[in-house]
Amino acid sequence: MNGKSLAMLGLAALSGLGAMYGTSRMLAKNQNPVVQESQDVIVALHDLKVEETLKPDLVKVVSMPKSSVPAGTFASFKDLQDRWVMIKTLEGEPILERKLAPKGSPAGLVSRIHPGMRAFTLEVNEHTGVSGFILPDHRVDVVLSIPTNNRGDEEAETILQDIPVLASGQVFTRPDDRSIQSRTVTLEVSPEQVDILVAARTKGSLSLALRGLNDHLKLTPVKREPVPAPVEVEVKPVELPLPPPTPVVKEPEPTSKPAVERRVIWIYRGLQNAERLSLSKEGVEHSAEDQAFPPSDQ
Protein backbone atom coordinates (compact mmCIF):
# COMPACT_ATOMS: atom_id res chain seq x y z
CA MET A 1 0.00 0.00 0.00
CA ASN A 2 1.56 3.30 -1.07
CA GLY A 3 1.54 6.57 0.83
CA LYS A 4 -1.33 8.07 -1.17
CA SER A 5 -3.69 5.25 -0.25
CA LEU A 6 -2.75 5.50 3.41
CA ALA A 7 -3.49 9.20 3.40
CA MET A 8 -6.96 8.65 1.87
CA LEU A 9 -7.73 5.94 4.42
CA GLY A 10 -6.70 8.16 7.32
CA LEU A 11 -8.86 11.03 6.01
CA ALA A 12 -11.90 8.76 5.78
CA ALA A 13 -11.37 7.53 9.35
CA LEU A 14 -11.16 11.09 10.66
CA SER A 15 -14.40 12.04 8.82
CA GLY A 16 -16.22 9.06 10.36
CA LEU A 17 -15.06 9.94 13.86
CA GLY A 18 -16.22 13.55 13.36
CA ALA A 19 -19.68 12.44 12.24
CA MET A 20 -20.05 10.13 15.21
CA TYR A 21 -19.07 12.88 17.61
CA GLY A 22 -21.58 15.35 16.11
CA THR A 23 -24.40 12.83 16.25
CA SER A 24 -23.73 11.96 19.86
CA ARG A 25 -23.74 15.63 20.82
CA MET A 26 -27.08 16.19 19.08
CA LEU A 27 -28.69 13.20 20.77
CA ALA A 28 -27.46 14.33 24.14
CA LYS A 29 -28.88 17.80 23.54
CA ASN A 30 -32.31 16.42 22.56
CA GLN A 31 -32.49 14.28 25.67
CA ASN A 32 -32.46 17.34 27.88
CA PRO A 33 -36.15 18.11 28.77
CA VAL A 34 -37.48 21.47 27.56
CA VAL A 35 -39.38 23.24 30.29
CA GLN A 36 -42.52 24.91 28.81
CA GLU A 37 -44.21 27.81 30.52
CA SER A 38 -47.69 26.91 31.77
CA GLN A 39 -50.81 28.93 32.63
CA ASP A 40 -53.87 28.32 34.82
CA VAL A 41 -57.12 28.16 32.85
CA ILE A 42 -60.71 27.65 34.03
CA VAL A 43 -62.48 24.86 32.12
CA ALA A 44 -65.97 23.34 32.29
CA LEU A 45 -66.35 20.49 34.75
CA HIS A 46 -69.21 19.11 32.61
CA ASP A 47 -71.30 20.25 29.66
CA LEU A 48 -72.72 23.74 30.25
CA LYS A 49 -76.07 24.54 28.65
CA VAL A 50 -77.21 27.89 27.34
CA GLU A 51 -78.56 30.24 30.05
CA GLU A 52 -76.81 28.24 32.79
CA THR A 53 -75.31 30.54 35.42
CA LEU A 54 -71.70 29.78 36.30
CA LYS A 55 -70.97 28.55 39.82
CA PRO A 56 -67.73 27.34 41.46
CA ASP A 57 -68.91 23.72 41.40
CA LEU A 58 -69.43 23.85 37.62
CA VAL A 59 -65.82 24.68 36.70
CA LYS A 60 -62.27 23.77 37.65
CA VAL A 61 -58.77 25.17 37.18
CA VAL A 62 -56.23 23.27 35.06
CA SER A 63 -52.69 24.04 33.98
CA MET A 64 -52.14 24.31 30.21
CA PRO A 65 -49.07 25.16 28.12
CA LYS A 66 -49.12 28.86 27.55
CA SER A 67 -48.68 28.38 23.82
CA SER A 68 -51.89 26.30 23.68
CA VAL A 69 -54.13 28.67 25.64
CA PRO A 70 -56.76 30.32 23.37
CA ALA A 71 -57.60 33.99 23.64
CA GLY A 72 -60.35 35.06 26.05
CA THR A 73 -59.77 32.53 28.85
CA PHE A 74 -60.09 33.11 32.59
CA ALA A 75 -57.67 32.26 35.38
CA SER A 76 -59.80 33.27 38.37
CA PHE A 77 -63.45 32.55 39.13
CA LYS A 78 -64.06 36.08 40.43
CA ASP A 79 -64.13 37.23 36.79
CA LEU A 80 -66.93 34.73 36.13
CA GLN A 81 -69.15 35.63 39.06
CA ASP A 82 -72.85 35.93 38.03
CA ARG A 83 -72.05 35.34 34.36
CA TRP A 84 -74.23 32.97 32.34
CA VAL A 85 -73.54 30.81 29.31
CA MET A 86 -74.68 32.16 25.95
CA ILE A 87 -73.08 29.43 23.77
CA LYS A 88 -73.00 25.80 24.86
CA THR A 89 -69.62 24.72 26.29
CA LEU A 90 -68.53 21.08 26.42
CA GLU A 91 -66.78 19.30 29.28
CA GLY A 92 -63.08 20.15 29.47
CA GLU A 93 -63.36 23.18 27.18
CA PRO A 94 -61.93 26.48 28.45
CA ILE A 95 -64.49 29.07 29.52
CA LEU A 96 -64.22 31.81 26.88
CA GLU A 97 -65.41 35.40 27.01
CA ARG A 98 -67.19 35.16 23.64
CA LYS A 99 -69.33 32.26 24.91
CA LEU A 100 -70.66 34.22 27.89
CA ALA A 101 -73.26 36.95 28.12
CA PRO A 102 -71.98 40.45 28.96
CA LYS A 103 -71.63 41.32 32.62
CA GLY A 104 -74.87 42.45 34.19
CA SER A 105 -77.03 41.42 31.20
CA PRO A 106 -80.31 39.66 32.03
CA ALA A 107 -80.76 36.10 30.95
CA GLY A 108 -83.16 35.73 28.06
CA LEU A 109 -83.72 36.57 24.41
CA VAL A 110 -82.83 40.25 24.72
CA SER A 111 -79.19 39.43 25.38
CA ARG A 112 -78.94 37.49 22.09
CA ILE A 113 -79.95 40.42 19.88
CA HIS A 114 -76.92 42.06 18.31
CA PRO A 115 -76.57 45.87 18.35
CA GLY A 116 -78.59 47.54 15.60
CA MET A 117 -80.75 44.45 15.00
CA ARG A 118 -84.34 43.63 15.89
CA ALA A 119 -86.29 40.52 16.88
CA PHE A 120 -89.33 39.82 14.67
CA THR A 121 -91.76 36.95 15.24
CA LEU A 122 -93.65 35.10 12.49
CA GLU A 123 -96.53 32.68 12.87
CA VAL A 124 -95.83 29.27 11.36
CA ASN A 125 -97.47 25.86 11.08
CA GLU A 126 -96.29 22.39 10.10
CA HIS A 127 -95.99 23.40 6.44
CA THR A 128 -94.64 26.96 6.66
CA GLY A 129 -92.28 26.11 9.54
CA VAL A 130 -90.55 23.01 8.05
CA SER A 131 -92.32 20.60 10.43
CA GLY A 132 -90.71 22.05 13.56
CA PHE A 133 -87.10 21.51 12.44
CA ILE A 134 -86.29 25.24 12.48
CA LEU A 135 -84.27 25.74 15.66
CA PRO A 136 -82.36 28.60 17.29
CA ASP A 137 -79.10 29.50 15.50
CA HIS A 138 -80.42 28.08 12.21
CA ARG A 139 -80.68 30.32 9.15
CA VAL A 140 -83.71 30.61 6.88
CA ASP A 141 -85.12 32.35 3.81
CA VAL A 142 -88.50 34.12 3.96
CA VAL A 143 -90.88 33.43 1.05
CA LEU A 144 -94.00 35.51 0.27
CA SER A 145 -96.96 33.86 -1.49
CA ILE A 146 -99.55 36.17 -3.09
CA PRO A 147 -102.88 34.99 -4.57
CA THR A 148 -103.27 36.03 -8.21
CA ASN A 149 -106.91 35.19 -8.93
CA ASN A 150 -110.05 33.66 -7.50
CA ARG A 151 -109.15 30.15 -8.73
CA GLY A 152 -106.56 29.63 -5.97
CA ASP A 153 -103.46 30.32 -8.10
CA GLU A 154 -100.50 31.92 -6.30
CA GLU A 155 -97.09 33.32 -7.16
CA ALA A 156 -94.17 33.16 -4.69
CA GLU A 157 -91.13 35.37 -4.18
CA THR A 158 -88.16 35.14 -1.79
CA ILE A 159 -88.06 38.49 0.02
CA LEU A 160 -85.30 37.82 2.62
CA GLN A 161 -82.34 35.44 2.58
CA ASP A 162 -79.92 33.97 5.15
CA ILE A 163 -81.79 35.27 8.21
CA PRO A 164 -80.65 33.94 11.63
CA VAL A 165 -83.21 32.36 13.96
CA LEU A 166 -83.26 33.65 17.53
CA ALA A 167 -86.01 31.48 18.98
CA SER A 168 -88.58 28.84 18.12
CA GLY A 169 -91.71 29.43 20.15
CA GLN A 170 -90.50 30.48 23.59
CA VAL A 171 -87.31 28.45 23.29
CA PHE A 172 -84.12 30.25 22.24
CA THR A 173 -81.69 27.41 23.02
CA ARG A 174 -80.92 24.36 20.92
CA PRO A 175 -82.97 21.43 22.31
CA ASP A 176 -81.57 17.94 22.67
CA ASP A 177 -84.31 16.30 20.57
CA ARG A 178 -83.53 18.64 17.66
CA SER A 179 -87.17 19.54 16.93
CA ILE A 180 -89.68 21.98 18.38
CA GLN A 181 -93.39 21.93 17.58
CA SER A 182 -94.15 25.63 17.95
CA ARG A 183 -96.47 28.14 16.31
CA THR A 184 -93.97 31.00 16.09
CA VAL A 185 -90.38 31.58 14.98
CA THR A 186 -88.42 34.69 15.99
CA LEU A 187 -85.88 36.06 13.51
CA GLU A 188 -83.06 38.57 13.92
CA VAL A 189 -83.50 41.25 11.24
CA SER A 190 -82.50 44.82 10.56
CA PRO A 191 -84.98 47.72 10.95
CA GLU A 192 -85.34 47.88 7.14
CA GLN A 193 -86.15 44.17 7.02
CA VAL A 194 -88.81 44.69 9.70
CA ASP A 195 -90.59 47.09 7.34
CA ILE A 196 -90.38 44.52 4.53
CA LEU A 197 -91.89 41.78 6.69
CA VAL A 198 -94.72 43.97 7.99
CA ALA A 199 -95.69 45.05 4.47
CA ALA A 200 -95.41 41.50 3.10
CA ARG A 201 -97.63 40.07 5.82
CA THR A 202 -100.53 42.25 4.63
CA LYS A 203 -100.18 41.09 1.01
CA GLY A 204 -100.14 37.31 1.46
CA SER A 205 -98.79 34.42 3.51
CA LEU A 206 -95.17 34.01 4.67
CA SER A 207 -93.26 30.72 4.73
CA LEU A 208 -89.75 29.81 5.90
CA ALA A 209 -87.19 27.77 3.96
CA LEU A 210 -84.44 26.18 6.07
CA ARG A 211 -80.84 26.64 4.88
CA GLY A 212 -78.10 24.06 5.15
CA LEU A 213 -75.11 24.28 7.44
CA ASN A 214 -72.65 27.05 6.43
CA ASP A 215 -74.80 27.95 3.42
CA HIS A 216 -74.70 31.76 3.19
CA LEU A 217 -75.05 32.13 -0.58
CA LYS A 218 -77.59 34.79 -1.54
CA LEU A 219 -79.26 34.31 -4.91
CA THR A 220 -80.68 37.06 -7.09
CA PRO A 221 -84.48 36.70 -7.11
CA VAL A 222 -85.94 36.06 -10.56
CA LYS A 223 -88.76 38.47 -11.31
CA ARG A 224 -91.55 36.55 -12.96
CA GLU A 225 -94.19 38.27 -15.02
CA PRO A 226 -97.64 37.75 -13.53
CA VAL A 227 -99.96 35.49 -15.43
CA PRO A 228 -102.61 37.69 -17.08
CA ALA A 229 -106.09 37.19 -15.78
CA PRO A 230 -108.64 35.82 -18.24
CA VAL A 231 -110.63 38.57 -19.98
CA GLU A 232 -114.38 38.27 -19.74
CA VAL A 233 -116.03 39.05 -23.08
CA GLU A 234 -119.70 39.92 -23.15
CA VAL A 235 -121.45 37.80 -25.75
CA LYS A 236 -124.64 39.30 -27.16
CA PRO A 237 -127.33 37.04 -28.62
CA VAL A 238 -127.53 37.10 -32.43
CA GLU A 239 -130.90 36.75 -34.11
CA LEU A 240 -130.68 34.26 -36.93
CA PRO A 241 -133.28 34.20 -39.76
CA LEU A 242 -135.87 31.52 -39.45
CA PRO A 243 -135.71 28.77 -42.04
CA PRO A 244 -138.48 28.80 -44.68
CA PRO A 245 -141.49 26.70 -43.80
CA THR A 246 -141.55 23.23 -45.17
CA PRO A 247 -144.20 22.99 -47.88
CA VAL A 248 -147.09 20.77 -47.02
CA VAL A 249 -147.79 18.21 -49.69
CA LYS A 250 -151.42 17.23 -49.79
CA GLU A 251 -152.14 13.64 -50.35
CA PRO A 252 -154.29 13.04 -53.41
CA GLU A 253 -157.88 12.35 -52.65
CA PRO A 254 -158.81 8.72 -53.21
CA THR A 255 -160.68 8.21 -56.44
CA SER A 256 -163.84 6.20 -56.48
CA LYS A 257 -163.46 2.70 -57.68
CA PRO A 258 -164.94 2.05 -61.07
CA ALA A 259 -168.09 0.08 -61.08
CA VAL A 260 -167.48 -3.58 -61.45
CA GLU A 261 -168.99 -4.96 -64.54
CA ARG A 262 -171.22 -7.83 -63.60
CA ARG A 263 -173.24 -10.33 -65.58
CA VAL A 264 -176.15 -12.16 -64.05
CA ILE A 265 -177.25 -15.63 -64.93
CA TRP A 266 -180.52 -17.09 -63.67
CA ILE A 267 -180.70 -20.81 -63.15
CA TYR A 268 -184.06 -22.54 -62.95
CA ARG A 269 -184.42 -26.02 -61.49
CA GLY A 270 -188.02 -27.21 -61.69
CA LEU A 271 -190.06 -25.95 -58.87
CA GLN A 272 -187.08 -24.68 -56.89
CA ASN A 273 -186.41 -21.07 -56.50
CA ALA A 274 -184.33 -19.59 -59.20
CA GLU A 275 -180.62 -19.15 -58.41
CA ARG A 276 -178.72 -16.11 -59.56
CA LEU A 277 -175.05 -16.16 -60.50
CA SER A 278 -173.15 -12.90 -60.70
CA LEU A 279 -170.21 -13.12 -63.03
CA SER A 280 -167.39 -10.58 -62.66
CA LYS A 281 -163.61 -10.33 -62.79
CA GLU A 282 -163.44 -11.02 -59.08
CA GLY A 283 -165.24 -14.37 -59.34
CA VAL A 284 -168.68 -15.91 -59.17
CA GLU A 285 -171.20 -15.02 -56.49
CA HIS A 286 -174.06 -17.36 -55.69
CA SER A 287 -177.22 -16.05 -54.21
CA ALA A 288 -180.71 -17.29 -53.83
CA GLU A 289 -183.43 -15.47 -55.58
CA ASP A 290 -184.43 -12.47 -53.53
CA GLN A 291 -186.41 -10.57 -56.04
CA ALA A 292 -189.01 -11.18 -58.63
CA PHE A 293 -188.28 -13.33 -61.60
CA PRO A 294 -186.51 -11.59 -64.32
CA PRO A 295 -188.41 -10.48 -67.32
CA SER A 296 -189.51 -13.10 -69.63
CA ASP A 297 -187.16 -11.91 -72.32
CA GLN A 298 -184.17 -13.22 -70.36
Strands 263-267 and 283-288, bridge-based pairing: unpaired
Tell me: pLDDT of 204 over 70: yes
pTM: 0.48
Tell me: pLDDT of 298 over 50: no
pLDDT tens readout for residues 59-77: 999 998 988 889 999 998 8
Sheet holding 184-189, edge to edge: 118-123, 184-189, 154-168, 139-147, 205-210
pLDDT recorded at residue 158: 92
pLDDT recorded at residue 283: 60
238 versus 47: the higher-pLDDT residue is: 47
pLDDT recorded at residue 257: 64
CA 120 to chain centre: 23
Burial 137-150 (b: 16+ CB within 10 A, else e): ebbbbbbbbeeeee
pLDDT recorded at residue 276: 73
CA pair distance 122, 182, nearest whole angstrom? 11
Q: Tell me the range of 106-115, 118-127, 265-274 where mean pLDDT is highest.
A: 118-127
Q: Which of 13, 16, 74, 72 is nearest to 42 (CA)?
A: 74
Stated as kind and residue range, the H or E segment containing 5 is helix 3-30
Q: What is the mean pLDDT of residues 240-250?
A: 79
pLDDT recorded at residue 128: 75
pLDDT band at 171 (very low <50, low <70, confident <90, very high): low
Q: Which domains does the chain have, with CATH numbers?
A: 38-99 (3.90.1210.10), 109-210 (no CATH), 262-298 (no CATH)
One-letter amino acid at 229 equals A
142 versus 10: the higher-pLDDT residue is: 142
Average pLDDT, the chain: 79
pLDDT recorded at residue 258: 64
Q: Which of 165, 163, 161, 157 is nearest to 184 (CA)?
A: 165
One-letter amino acid at 104 equals G
Tell me: pLDDT of 113 over 50: yes
pLDDT tens readout for residues 7-53: 666 666 667 666 776 777 766 665 555 567 889 999 999 999 888 88
Tell me: pLDDT of 292 over 50: no
